[in-house]
Amino acid sequence: MSETLERPTLEARVAAEGWTAPRVGVVLAAGRSERLARVTGGGSKALVRVGGMALVERAVRGLLAAGLERVIVVVGYQAGPVAAVANRIAPGRVRAVYAEDWERGNGASLAAAAPLLEGEDLFVLVTADHVFGEGVLPQLVAAGRPAVLVDQAPDPAAWAEGTRVRLGREGAVAFSKELGDHAIDCGAFLLPRAVFDAQRRAARRGDHTLAGAVTELAREQPLAAIPLPPGAWWQDVDTPEDLRRARERLRRSLAKPGDGPVSRYLNRPVSTRLSMAIAPLRPHPDLVSVLAFLLGLAGAWALAMRRGVLAAVLVHLTSILDGVDGEVARLQLRAGPGGALLDGVLDRLADAAVVGGLAWWALEEGVEPTAVTALAVAATAGAMLSMATKDRIAALGLPPAPERALGYLLGGRDGRLLLVAVGALLARPVWTLIAIVLTSALSLTLRVVLARFWAARLAA
């Protein structure tokens, strides 16, 4: 949603500087990696899977998700299998092109894309063996002028392997592994068509690398150095250790900054590993949402049947699986409002069923029906209003409440389900309902108070 809102501003800024907003991306997927041979078995590195998706597909989908209209994939080694994967991603929007001289270097591979970029002022270039965290590429796309994404604080391993970037007053002016500068490029560029002339000049000197081409370009036109956004990550995949690190970074990135203690310490360590394990199966996120809903209904049934241990297990599994659908969607780069809407509706229905199961258990124990009904209504209303208030705050454009801190009150869905699981183990349905009402009310009150405070500050 934010990308759609930012697009007109981007186009206005780019037009003011004389550049046309980029519409096309190029993925270099032609090379062969000897250091990954024991992983690839002689196949292309671009087909190595990270998070259930081939590197080349992850690169293409990342560019499309960043707002580009079409993507060109340059193939070379094992061209047939790589092109087959690329062409299946988004027919009509993705096209593979063969680089005759791919063995000379990635600069020669870049040249193969030139005929397909006629009329394009700027284009985004990435290499298939680089994995980017969420939100990284849109920042480069929005640069508004020729630019390179740089990591100014790389870890020692990345610095040792990466292409160093010399930064001047006007931006990046040189690229080489031989430089002593601390910044390195992240394998992502926003380039003008002039880079093809620069590549030919570098090639005449015998330099067929991408670094040679962009260095030649930077002599005439320094590239803006776009720093890696705070908290963002990227990973070059050249060795088995790089591959392990990319998968681990991708798994860790599935957690959300606003996760409370229950999600952060109990659920995510399990759910993210489960998401990575099932990623090769490519399950649809909506299917996972439905499975979590059915598991919640099973937990509600177990509560109504007063089977405390079984109910505790099922309810906590529901809480864990509740995160998997979103994680799978982000792994597949297909997160969207439709899936979020379905997940939200099913979560609310499952919450109501769980509260109903607790209420039935309490009635079976002989608790006064009026009191049980009042508690059940209050608990259900608290669960519904908790999410509705968060959504309303976001819709009004107000600063969000400190959800990470509020999570300690156990008023969020993960906290409520933990209360239910513990209450089921202790066979205390009434006290569990009371706890849900109190924690939901306290969290809701704090959200409203904070929202009104920020609304007053903004109006002042």
More reliable by pLDDT, 10 or 45: 45
Report the pLDDT value the prediction gives residue 1, as an integer from 0 to 100: 34
pLDDT above 70 (res 314): yes
pTM of the predicted protein model: 0.88
User: Strand, coil or helix: what is 96?
Assistant: strand
Backbone dihedral angles phi then psi of residue 189, each to the nearest 5 degrees: -135, 155
User: Strand, coil or helix: what is 349?
Assistant: helix
Give the mean pLDDT of the chain: 92
pLDDT band at 7 (very low <50, low <70, confident <90, very high): very low
Domains 2-249 and 254-459 share a fold: no
pLDDT band at 10 (very low <50, low <70, confident <90, very high): very low
Average pLDDT over residues 207-226: 93
Domain ranges of the chain: 2-249, 254-459
Q: What is the pLDDT of residues 321-352, one digit of tens each?
A: 999 999 999 999 988 889 989 999 999 999 99
Integer angstrom CA distances of residue 114 from 189, 199, 295, 335: 15, 11, 53, 32
User: Strand, coil or helix: what is 59?
Assistant: helix
Integer angstrom CA distances of residue 156 from 34, 163, 261, 313: 22, 13, 32, 44
Please, are residues 145 and 21 in contact by the beta-carbon 8 Å criterion? Answer: no
pLDDT band at 4 (very low <50, low <70, confident <90, very high): very low
- Angle of CA points 439, 328, 281, to nearest 5°: 140
Backbone dihedral angles phi then psi of residue 447, each to the nearest 5 degrees: -60, -45
Q: Give the H/E segment covering residue 423.
A: helix 413-426
pLDDT band at 390 (very low <50, low <70, confident <90, very high): confident
Number of residues written out for the chain: 460
Which residues pair with residue 95 across a beta bridge?
Answer: 72
Please, are residues 74 and 112 in contact by the beta-carbon 8 Å criterion? Answer: yes
Average pLDDT over residues 391-405: 84
| Superfamily of the domain at 254-459 | CDP-alcohol phosphotransferase transmembrane (TM) domain (1.20.120.1760)
Name 448's Cβ contacts closer than 8 Å, sequence gap at least 6: 389
Integer angstrom CA distances of residue 64 from 67, 93, 334, 347, 411: 5, 9, 11, 30, 37
Report the pLDDT value the prediction gives residue 14, as an integer from 0 to 100: 47
Nearest-angstrom CA–CA distance, 207 and 170: 25
Report the pLDDT value the prediction gives residue 168, as an integer from 0 to 100: 86
Report the pLDDT value the prediction gives residue 17, as an integer from 0 to 100: 60
Report the pLDDT value the prediction gives residue 174, as an integer from 0 to 100: 86
Topology of domain 2-249, CATH: Spore Coat Polysaccharide Biosynthesis Protein SpsA; Chain A (3.90.550)
pLDDT above 70 (res 429): yes
For the beta carbon of residue 187, count every other beta carbon within 10 angstroms. Answer: 24
Q: What is the pLDDT of residues 75-131, one digit of tens each?
A: 999 999 999 999 999 999 999 999 999 999 999 999 999 999 999 999 999 999 999
